[in-house]
């Protein structure tokens, strides 16, 4: 059976997007991560510097390890100004750092094998399609 990870990007508990996602995953065994419950500092871009990225003291590595262990990632985010939430964007931006982090040597290759989906909502949820990991 596939390991499914749901990443919730809303800053509000019981948000419309969260309720919509919960309906869609009903009956599916998933691991849920609420980004609002973690401290994830913004990326300081070190791609073009001699020393690269500095280590960051926050919760990001805890979450990215769970991402690595999953087969399917469901990004659940409200839409703010035509884009994902700031919490979700901040998390995804840090992937640039992980691509160059020696603690995650095969990150790009591992991520290329994963399935990903996005649950998003910009209005009150009225319809959904049930998710199936198969």
Reported pTM = 0.86
| Residue 107 CA, distance from chain mean position | 14
CB atoms within 10 A of CB 72: 18
Q: Does residue 20 belong to any structural domain of this protein?
A: yes
- pLDDT per position as a tens digit, 6-26: 999 999 999 999 999 999 999
The total domain count for the chain is 1
Q: Does residue 132 belong to any structural domain of this protein?
A: no
Please give the residue range of the domain that contains residue 103: 4-48+55-121
Task: Write the CATH number for 84.
Answer: 3.40.50.360
**Band of the pLDDT at 118, cuts 50, 70, 90?**
confident
CB of 16 within 8 A of CB of 121?
yes
- pLDDT per position as a tens digit, 37-55: 999 999 888 888 888 888 8
Q: Does residue 130 belong to any structural domain of this protein?
A: no
């Amino acid at each position: 059976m596939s390991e499914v990870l749901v990443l919730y990007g809303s800053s509000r508990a019981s948000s419309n997007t969260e309720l919509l996602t919960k309906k869609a995953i009903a009956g599916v065994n998933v691991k849920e991560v609420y980004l609002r419950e973690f401290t994830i500092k913004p990326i300081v871009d070190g791609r073009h510097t001699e020393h690269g990225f500095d280590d960051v003291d926050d919760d990001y590595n805890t979450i990215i390890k769970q991402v690595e262990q999953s087969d399917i990632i469901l990004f659940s985010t409200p839409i703010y100004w035509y884009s994902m939430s700031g919490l979700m964007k901040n998390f995804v931006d840090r992937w640039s750092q992980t691509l160059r982090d020696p603690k995650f040597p095969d990150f790009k290759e591992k991520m290329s094998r994963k399935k990903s989906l996005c649950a998003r909502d910009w209005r009150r949820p009225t319809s959904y399609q049930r998710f199936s990991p198969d």
